[in-house]
Chains A and B, each alone.
Chain A
């Protein structure tokens, strides 16, 4: 626990004690909720990172197969078709669309590949030679790109989750290491202040009681002295008065009991 200085600026009253206690309770609930959220996200995150790792390695393989099918085209056509392809590209046939997925309140986008029908920029490519290889190569690459799109979704999720997890963890840590200790400190401070007040009050009352006792004793002694003086004067009359005097003394004793 950090020093006693780290507390909120409140007056040490019973009301603020109540407030602080409520706050502490709230912070603890929030902490456990956020912690759970962070754990859920982290679980998802780890799963995604594992899949990214796998997918990236797989991608190497997929792209190799695709390159080989392109090599096949070069083999069959007997030349490089790159330039022609670049120039005849007009409209994308292979497109993506973004969707959302909800993970513990975080919206993760996922890409979905789709092909638009009808426009085929390369239908004629390799008409005289190698057309079949070109078509095959297109399919191979289309599949490779699908794999890439999938990987891209994972990666986007990775980036977003990474961000969100950082934020959540920051909150969790803030609650755990700042808000809760500080609230606890405040409560402790209020308690100690209140105790101090109590002790002062006790001491004051004790002082008051002592004084009362002393006063009582003095009064009693005076009374006694006066009675003895009167008794000396008329002894017979005073016998009947003893009772009430005793009762008073007993009452005073009882009073003391009540106070202490």
Chain B
């Protein structure tokens, strides 16, 4: 289990999503850009042109490299594109949350956590 120190300073959310989802969440005020010069953003806008490697590296950055992120929000249809990574991610911190996007309504069947729930109860 994660130690006390590990999550004490996790105070940000991160988001990987399409433009509308990111815009909305940024409006809510979760956006954070670290001090220059590296100026790391805690959000990634994904469109059709973004390749999977970029998504994966962002996922990697938010989940393992950065120690100040507590929750990673990811659009479900984008999670689908890197499904193997999301499914094999089991650590408690940061939490991965699959969220619906505007053009892709939420499908509980695909959610990695909900699938685990189903498997556990054999439903």
Instruction: Please determine if A and B sit in direct contact within the complex, based on CB atoms under 8 angstroms apart.
Output: yes
Q: What residues of chain A have their CB less than 8 Å away from a CB belonging to chain B?
A: 49, 52-53, 56-57, 59-60, 63-64, 66-67, 69-70, 80-82, 85-86, 89-98, 107, 109, 111, 115, 120-122, 134, 137-138, 141-142, 144-145, 148-149, 151-153, 155-156, 158-160, 162-164
Number of B positions contacting A (CB below 8 A): 51
Query: Which residues of B lie under 8 Å from residue A159 when comparing CB positions?
Result: 90-92, 95, 113
Of residues 83 through 123 on chain B, the ones whose CB sits less than 8 Å from some CB of chain A are 90-93, 95-97, 99-102, 105-106, 108, 111, 113-114, 116-117, 120-121
**Given A64-B105, A158-B117, 15 further pairs, Cβ under 8 A:** A49-B121, A52-B114, A52-B117, A63-B106, A82-B19, A86-B22, A86-B23, A86-B43, A92-B12, A92-B30, A107-B1, A144-B28, A145-B30, A149-B13, A152-B70
Majority SS at the chain B contact face:
mixed
Query: Which residues of A lie under 8 Å from residue B101 when comparing CB positions?
Result: 63, 67
* Cross-chain contact A89 with B32 (CB below 8 angstroms): yes
* Cross-chain contact A85 with B23 (CB below 8 angstroms): yes
Closest to A153 in B: B95
A44 to chain B, nearest CB (A): 14
Majority SS at the chain A contact face:
helix
A-B contacts, 5 of them at CB < 8 A, read A53-B108, A56-B111, A82-B23, A148-B97, A156-B92
Give the contacting residue for B7; candidates A86, A98, A134, A163; CB below 8 A: A98
* Cross-chain contact B12 with A95 (CB below 8 angstroms): yes
Given contacts A57-B108, A111-B71, A156-B93, contact A90 B20 (CB under 8 A): no
Q: B53 on the interface (CB 8 Å rule)? A: no
Counted as pairs of residues, one from A and one from B, with CB atoms less than 8 Å apart, the total is 161
* Cross-chain contact A134 with B27 (CB below 8 angstroms): yes
Complex Cα distance, B115 from A190, in Å, reads 50
Given contacts A64-B100, A98-B7, A156-B95, contact A82 B20 (CB under 8 A): yes
Q: B24 on the interface (CB 8 Å rule)? A: yes
B85 to chain A, nearest CB (A): 16
Of residues 1 through 42 on chain B, the ones whose CB sits less than 8 Å from some CB of chain A are 1-2, 7-8, 10-13, 19-33, 41-42
Q: B54 on the interface (CB 8 Å rule)? A: no
Give the contacting residue for B28; candidates A59, A96, A138, A160; CB below 8 A: A138
Give the contacting residue for B23; candidates A60, A70, A97; CB below 8 A: A70
* Cross-chain contact B25 with A145 (CB below 8 angstroms): yes
* Cross-chain contact B22 with A148 (CB below 8 angstroms): no
* Cross-chain contact B102 with A92 (CB below 8 angstroms): no
Count chain A CB atoms within 10 A of each CB in B23, B73, B120 and give the residue with the most.
B23
Complex Cα distance, B64 from A69, in Å, reads 33
* Cross-chain contact A56 with B70 (CB below 8 angstroms): no
Q: B82 on the interface (CB 8 Å rule)? A: no
B92 to chain A, nearest CB (A): 5
Give the contacting residue for A67; candidates B12, B20, B28; CB below 8 A: B20
Query: Which residues of B lie under 8 Å from residue A59 when comparing CB positions?
Result: 99-100, 106
Query: Which residues of B lie under 8 Å from residue A144 when comparing CB positions?
Result: 24, 28
* Cross-chain contact B100 with A145 (CB below 8 angstroms): no
* Cross-chain contact B1 with A163 (CB below 8 angstroms): yes
B122 to chain A, nearest CB (A): 13
Complex Cα distance, B19 from A82, in Å, reads 7
Complex Cα distance, B32 from A81, in Å, reads 18
Closest to B34 in A: A91
Complex Cα distance, B30 from A138, in Å, reads 11
